[in-house]
Structure 1
Amino acid sequence: MSPGSGFAETPALDLAPAAQQVLRKGNYSEPESLDPQKATGVTAHNILRDLYEGLVGEAPDGTLVPGGAVSWSVSDDGLRYIFQLRRAASWSNGDPVTAQDYVAGLRRGVDAATGSQYAQMLMPIKGAASIVSGLAPPSALGVRVLDEHTLELRLATPAPYVLSLLTHPVCYPIHRASLNKHGAAFTQPGKLISNGAYTLSEWVVQSHIELVRNRHYWDDAHTVVKAVSYYPTENLSAELKRYRAGEIDWTYDIPVSQIDWIREHLPGELHIDPYFGLYFYGFNLTQPPFDNPDLRKALTLAVDRDTLLNKVRGLGETAAYGWVPPGTPAYEAARPAWADWTPAQRNAEALRLYHKAGYGEEHPLEIELRYNTHEDHRRIAIVLSYMWRKTLGVQTRLVNEEWKVFLQNRRFKKLTQVFRSSWIGDYNDPFAFLELLKTGHGANDYGYSNPEYDRLLAEISAQRDPQQRLQLMSQAERIVIRDLPVLPIYFYTTKRLIKPYVAGVVPNVMDHQYTKSVRILAH
């Protein structure tokens, strides 16, 4: 079916609310889990933000606001936080939300038995390092109940971003009775008890996940959308067809191949905004040949990012030569000298390093490049492999894998050589990217380990002066650019179609969208 055939015009809008307050959203891939301490992907977190509420919440524009805590205070040294919880807050079964529930969630996040990929993110909390290392029990974490509605959080080192961090799912509270009764099955419909604006109604694998309003939510009176369904939509062309047929109201993404048609026919429904994220390729440094920095740099230099963006993307993305995306106020991002070279200069240096690494026309590099199912990932992989072959003579075999298999192979590091990757900042601070490359970090699928870099991260964590901290982070990013354990490609934008009758959507650099903030207009 051609893009322009067989669909009705966009209906006229009314400013009055629609009688049927149901939102239908494309959500790319099946979430790997709805366990807030275990979930890792953006698609899971999109759903978890509707199901749960952290101590700190977010306004539609991303501004931090009271969430499960109605207020908080901070000690002069920045190491002690006291949170006053909402006395009206309830779980979806009517149980009161208590300080112990938040303590249980945070302890579970650092417990080795949980296996959370985000345990490292909680390192600023006192005792977290020892717990993650297996040297102390989860009860040693620097968080404790002062009374049923008062919680104390103690930090090992100052962390100016800690309030933003507390909006992350790994910090969400846990309904302890449900977890104790059902174990890992507590995330299933009929068993999952949540404290956010919505609760889990139905989960049909590879079909949809439906949430309905949590009538026990403290602010339910101001929640308008009655139900929201999330649809896994890895095929973006199919998602566009569903959107145009009126089957979904909000796409996860858009197919780049049809951007011209979309801009012509659906300009008022296309939303492209900055996003605190990076698209890159990871190298497996734990095995030859990518333990060789010259080879990594050769492949990095041989990528013409501007050409790639013009041919494959063209949706407002910017070429990435560093590790930290723009979007953090006052941060001066690092930039390598070769970023300002001409393509010819970069290719010449790439070929020199390629030969230095022991490869050439008589002995070409043969590698596998893995990516998870997505038409844009495939297109980018094809273009990059062509650039490598044209400039260096590299022979690349593309391997497409389903999401869960892809993640598993990345983490075990046995089959991977080069693989697609991306990272979306979990809080708006450069450290959200820098900590990813720390030795032993749960998301360090690259096997990168540099004592100099680790020492610098420790210094950043202990630094109380904001300006000095920013300078140290820029210094750390320069080490990443020097060592190149990853191949930066471009900085993200969010790109989606939203029906005109979905009101209340506000762009923010973190792209944290809450269904409770929107409403459906009559149409």
Structure 2
Amino acid sequence: MHRLLICLILACAGLAACGGGEDPGSFPVKISPEVRADGTTVFRRGNGAEPGTLDPHQARGVPAANILRDLYAGLVSVSPSGDLEPGDAESWQVSDDKRVYTFTLRADAKWSNGKPVTATDYVYSLRRGVDPATASPYAQLHAPIVNAIAIIAGDKAPDTLGVKALDTRHLQITLKKPTPYFLGTLAHASSYPVYRPAVEQYGDTFSQPGHAVTNGAYKMDSWRVNSMIAITRNDQYWDNANTAIDRVEYYPIADANSELSRYQAGELDWAGVIPPSRLETVQKYIPAQFKAVPTLGVYYYGLNLRHAPFKDAPRLRQALSMAIDRQVIVDKITRGNEVPAYGWIPPAVEGYDGPKFAWADLSDADREARAKKLYAEAGYSRDKPLQVEIRYNSNEGNKKIASVISAMWRGVLGADVTLRNEEWKVYLNSVRQGSDTEAFRMAWIGDYDDPNTFFELMHSAFGLNGTTYASRTYDALQEQQAHMPDGSERDAVMHKAEATLLADNPVIPIYFYTSKYLVKPYVKGFVGNALDIYYSKDLRIEP
């Protein structure tokens, strides 16, 4: 697009991005750790949005995952640097054929009520995670386990899952085929154990304060909806002696400017969202508190393939993708060292270098000309424009990106674009139901450091595939690579899978994430990791 048009687009989005620049002025930040009179240390975390549930097997989204990691422990955990390490399991053995994993639970692994965590607890919980009655959005994560797929489909009973308690401390999990990333799935919330007596007694409210029994470093204290979720140290946790922070308070703050203001005012010790318009100011005045970490994450637009205009419209989908100038978005809006996305798998994934869109290296003029041609071939023109809605969850960055993309679609193609924002929980439900969504903003943060965590999202059976993309070719390639050992042969299959996805265009990848945080100087122990996983138990407050 011509530079003048780009400037006009950014100006309409409320961005001063085409020269000049303003002095950001002063930026006061109150340094005020909360340590109570009895010595209790409090860690106050901005958490982006109100979680819909804290049931580990039904929760979705980063805000819920942040809290669940503090409340629960899995067989496997993640170290501060992002490496896998023992969790509730002190050790494990793998059979010669790489299909049978035998875990030895810690003798001192306990629930917050003092009861021991047993292998039977894990059998119950893993079965619950794949049971169709649970409707876990992450059920597909357990696909490597024997019979999991058939159970998810309703063709077999949950008790046929390939998990077995050999005794109270030994759990055996059998996979249908060797799976190189399997251990990483066990660190995910959907693999956490839940306390069966609480589930059976309280049903859907078993995760609420007064009912919740957890096995992680913290336990539930209180939950004031749209205000704060407070958790306190679990003295029954096996590693409680090395937990330094006594109380963690999670604040659901959907507006990034409000979160930043509360951080400045001393009400937060950790801000998980920084308004793009304030990044320059933050980096100028408090660079030591600003943390930017390349992350296993992709920001993308999903296209609902259930109905028009995107069902059976591959040319239109590609035209919209090609009409977006991704470099402008990362240079002028996100401005945090994000990488324009011309593929699906983030470059931060270790050991994988995937294909790009066939048109990725075109000049801007050629890219836009090709987009216009495809748009016309799809049956649209400036006299007969596409009418499309972009839906996004309330957030300054999402709004600005949606405004700019809508302007690009109008400017390059002549499309008639409307914008619609919704509160987080409403938005997730809209995407899940898909009855009237068209283009929708989404992001995916990898659950483990392997390309499969991105490939499986677009599998036709995966519960969070909001596009309803269903390709037999893609599914077969995804399933094939999932059980291959790392190496050139697996890389070749993964390349075919990614190329298939990029050719079909059910999603429009926009950029690969750099996670950005503000952390007060008295919060110690922060180590950036590509998985974007930060347990409160690994941090400490030093006033």
Question: Could you say which TM-score interval applies, normalised by the shorter chain?
Answer: over 0.9
Give the distance between the partners of 1:70 and 1:383, measured in 2 at CA: 50
Q: Say if 2:32 and 2:266, in contact at 8 Å, map to a contact too.
A: no
User: In the superposition, relative to structure 1, how do residues 6 and 397 fare at CA in structure 2: closer, same or farther (>3 Å)?
Assistant: closer
Cα offsets for 1:454-508 (capped at 9, x unmatched): 1212222343464322221121001011111000100011111100000001100
Residue 141 of structure 2 is aligned to residue 121 of structure 1: yes
Q: How does 1:38-437 map to 2 (within 5 A)?
A: 38-291=58-311, 292-437=313-458
The separation in 1 between residues aligned to 2:24 and 2:520, in whole angstroms, is 17
Amino acid at match of 1:31: P
1:335 shift after superposition? 1.1
Q: Compute the displacement of 1:311 (Å).
A: 1.6
Please list the CA deviations of residues 429-449 of structure 1 after superposition, one character each: whole Å capped at 9, or x if unmatched.
Answer: 111111111113211110111
Q: Structure 1 residues 84, 235: closer, same or farther in 2, change over 3 A?
A: same
Instruction: Work out the CA distance in 1 between the residues paired with 2:29 and 2:260.
Output: 14
Contact 2:140 2:463 in 1 (8 A): yes
* 1:192-234 deviation digits (Å, cap 9, x = unpaired): 0000000010000000000100011111111110000000111
Residue aligned with 1:340, SS? coil
Once residues 314 and 453 of structure 2 are traced to their aligned partners in structure 1, the CA distance between those partners, rounded to angstroms, is 24
Cross-structure match for 1:454: 475
Mapping of residues 471-510 of structure 1, within 5 Å:
471-510=492-531
Distance 1:23 1:150, change over 3 A: same
Q: CA deviation at 1:409?
A: 1.5
Number of residues paired by the alignment? 516
Q: CA deviation at 1:11?
A: 7.5
Matched residue of 1:445: which SS? coil
User: Is residue 230–residue 250 contact of structure 2 (8 Å, CA) maintained in 1?
Assistant: yes
Partner of 2:8: none
SS in 2 for 1:323: coil
- 2:301 touches 2:442 (CA, 8 Å); kept in 1? yes
The answer to whether the aligner puts 1:25 opposite 2:25 as a matched pair is: no
- Deviation per CA, 1:26-79, whole angstroms, max 9, x where unpaired? 000001110000001110000000000000111111111110000000011110
Q: Distance in 1 between matches of 2:343 and 2:164?
A: 39
C-alpha offsets along residues 309-351 of structure 1, whole Å, 9 cap, x if unaligned? 1121110100001111112222121112311111111000000
Q: Note closer, same or farther for the CA distance 1:520–1:465 as it changes in structure 2 (3 Å cut).
A: closer
The counterpart of 1:440, out of the listed 442, 454, 461, is 461
Runs of 5+ unmatched residues, structure 2: 1-22
Distance 1:325 1:375, change over 3 A: same
**1:124 & 1:113 partners in 2: Cα distance?**
20
Q: Is the 8 A contact 2:524 2:539 kept in 1?
A: yes
In 2, Cα distance between equivalents of 1:6 and 1:132: 52
Runs of 4+ in 1 over 3 A off after TM superposition: 2-12, 464-467
Q: Which runs of 5+ in 1 are unaligned?
A: 13-17
Q: Separation in 2 of the partners of 1:328 and 1:236?
A: 27
CA distance in 2 between partners of 1:467 and 1:96 (Å): 44
Shift of 1:269: 0.4
Aligned partner of residue 411 in structure 1, secondary structure: helix
- How far apart in 2 are the matches of 1:441 and 1:69? 28
Structure-2 separation of matches of 1:439 and 1:425: 18
Aligned-pair CA distance for 1:123: 0.4
Task: Report the Cα distance in structure 2 between the residues aligned to 1:97 and 1:109, rounded to whole angstroms.
Answer: 17
Q: Normalized against structure 2, the TM-score is what?
A: 0.93
Report deviation, 1:3.
Answer: 7.4
Is contact 2:51-2:425 (8 Å) kept? no
Deviations, residues 337-371 of structure 1 (Å, cap 9, x unaligned): 31111111100000000000000021011111101
Please say which of residues 302-311 and 457-466 is displaced more in the overlay: 457-466
CA contact (8 A) 2:180 2:482 kept: no
One-letter amino acid of the structure 2 residue matched with residue 200 of structure 1: M
Q: Give the match's secondary structure for 2:360.
A: helix
The residue identity in structure 1 corresponding to 2:381 is G
Name the aligned partner's letter for residue 94 of structure 1. G
Structure-2 change in CA distance of 1:29 and 1:498 (3 Å): same
Structure 2 CA distance, aligned partners of 1:102 and 1:185? Answer: 20
Return the offset for 1:427. Answer: 1.1
Q: Which residue of 1 aligns with 2:13?
A: none
Aligned equivalents of 1:159 and 1:42: distance in 2?
Answer: 25
Matched letter for residue 251 of structure 1: A
Deviations 1:86-108, CA, capped at 9 Å, x for gaps: 01111000001000111111111
